[in-house]
């Protein structure tokens, strides 16, 4: 989590090291989605020891996503083929990361992505945990321009994974007209106070525009860009309902199902498309998603046993993964960007 210096993240360490943070939604859906994105990104660079710069590394989630199993998926890469450097603005987070990952092929340093990042020639510039959303949109474009300029000056190709908050998440439907607003992290586990920061939100078009702007300024070529929505209906603020109290607590309900709770009824999980103005493509997505999601519920019926509850949770997790279109309709939007030096 690369944050602004004025933001009080005293309780961030408690959240990021809390076992409660890794609930079934995170371990069975969110980490699986991120794992697949990183596997695709790593597959786009040469097969050799992988050099990674994790920007806004926090306590090292990116390292875990690369080197651990998730949902039965084999690790993206093993420690012996990895050279990893994680940077974060918060010294406390960096100290925690060093402690958690001591003895591994990983280094952690304090650095601000808006200033000078550590020198080096990297294959993958990783981000997870929406670090770019902590920046105003213009600052994000400047940071990406600097990274792309570094790539074209040092190598033929590298990959960026850019992680931001999705503008059109159902978690904050009333805020859809805005692209930067005061976002409170009331989902923090073990926190004594609510942490708040102004955050930037993106849909596919605005993030794509930012990437093109950065590439043009850097003199880089974008040979491939793919977008992935993560947590369409189960972002952490579907549990808190801090910004949209009208929605059911989908994350809580899915967590309960995944733990085998038969007290969760299909009617509680039904999804109605948001009644809010959005681009036609977003509106069409939610209409189709509602039909598919509610169809899964209708086919499964009421869970009568813990095993049936767990199967229904898995079916709904699969529905999320198979339905996403990378539009900025989930809690976060990830872009996988192949950056190349233009041909002479």
The pLDDT tens digits for 101-146 are 998 889 999 999 998 899 989 999 999 999 999 999 999 999 999 9
- Is the pTM for the entire model greater than 0.75? yes
The length of the chain is 344
> Phi/psi of residue 257, each to 5°?
-60, -45
**CA 40/CA 36 separation, integer angstroms:** 6
Q: Which of 69, 70, 58 is nearest to 28 (CA)?
A: 70
Is the same domain home to 259 and 244?
yes
In the DSSP assignment, the letter for residue 82 is: E
State whether residue 277 is helix, strand or coil: coil
Nearest CA among 245, 246, 243 for reference residue 186? 243
Residue 194 has pLDDT above 70, yes or no: no
Residue 192 confidence class, pLDDT cut points 50, 70, 90: low
Contact 56/131 with Cβ under 8 angstroms? yes
pLDDT at residue 151 tops 70: yes
pLDDT in tens, 265-318: 999 999 999 999 999 999 999 999 999 999 999 999 999 999 999 999 999 999
Is 34 domain-assigned?
yes
Residues 88 and 153 in one domain: yes
CA gap 215, 210 in Å, rounded = 9
Q: Quote the pLDDT of residue 262.
A: 96
Bridge partners (DSSP) listed for residue 164: 333
CB atoms within 10 A of CB 245: 9
Claim to verify: residue 113 and residue 199 sit in the same structural domain: yes
Tell me: do 47 and 158 sit in the same domain: yes
> pLDDT tens for residues 254-271?
999 999 999 999 999 999
- Total structural domains in the chain? 2
Mark whether 144 and 264 lie in a shared domain: no
pLDDT of residue 7: 45
- Supply the range of the domain harboring residue 168: 12-232+327-340
Q: In angstroms, rounded to a whole number, what is the distance separating the alpha carbons of residues 171 and 201?
A: 12
Mark 271-301 as b/e (b = at least 16 C-beta within 10 Å). Answer: bebbebebeeebeebbeebbeebbeebeebe
pLDDT at 10 over 60: no
Residue 130 pLDDT? 95
Measured between alpha carbons, how far is 3 from 94 in angstroms, rounded to an integer? Answer: 13
């Amino acid at each position: 989590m690369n944050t602004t210096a004025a933001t009080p993240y005293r309780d961030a360490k408690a959240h990021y090291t809390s076992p409660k943070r890794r609930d079934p939604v995170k371990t069975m859906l969110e980490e699986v989605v991120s794992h697949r994105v990183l596997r695709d990104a790593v597959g786009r660079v040469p097969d050799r020891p992988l050099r990674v710069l994790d920007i806004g590394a926090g306590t090292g989630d990116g390292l875990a996503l690369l080197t651990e199993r998730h949902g039965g998926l084999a690790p993206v890469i093993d420690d012996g083929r990895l050279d990893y450097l994680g940077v974060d603005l918060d010294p406390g987070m960096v100290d925690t990361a060093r402690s958690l990952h001591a003895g591994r092929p990983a280094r952690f340093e304090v650095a601000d992505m808006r200033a000078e990042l550590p020198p080096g020639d990297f294959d993958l510039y990783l981000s997870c945990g929406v670090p770019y959303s902590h920046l105003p949109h213009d600052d994000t474009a400047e940071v990406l321009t600097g990274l792309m300029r570094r790539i074209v000056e040092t190598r033929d190709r590298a990959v960026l994974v850019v992680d931001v908050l999705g503008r059109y998440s159902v978690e904050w439907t009333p805020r859809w007209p805005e692209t930067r607003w005061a976002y409170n992290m009331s989902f923090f586990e073990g926190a004594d106070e609510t942490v708040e920061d102004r955050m930037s939100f993106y849909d596919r078009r605005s993030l794509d525009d930012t990437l093109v702007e950065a590439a043009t300024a850097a003199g880089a070529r974008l040979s491939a860009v793919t977008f992935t929505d993560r947590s369409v209906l189960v972002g952490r603020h579907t549990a808190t309902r801090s910004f949209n109290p009208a929605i059911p607590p989908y994350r809580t309900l899915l967590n309960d199902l995944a733990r085998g709770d038969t007290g969760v009824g299909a009617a509680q999980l039904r999804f109605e498309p948001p009644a809010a103005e959005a681009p036609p493509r977003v509106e069409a997505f939610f209409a189709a998603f509602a039909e598919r999601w509610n169809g899964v519920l209708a086919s499964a019926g009421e869970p009568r046993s813990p095993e049936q509850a767990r199967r229904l949770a898995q079916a709904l997790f699969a529905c999320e993964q198979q339905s996403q279109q990378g539009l900025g309709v989930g809690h976060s939007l990830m872009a996988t960007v192949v950056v190349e030096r233009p041909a002479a």
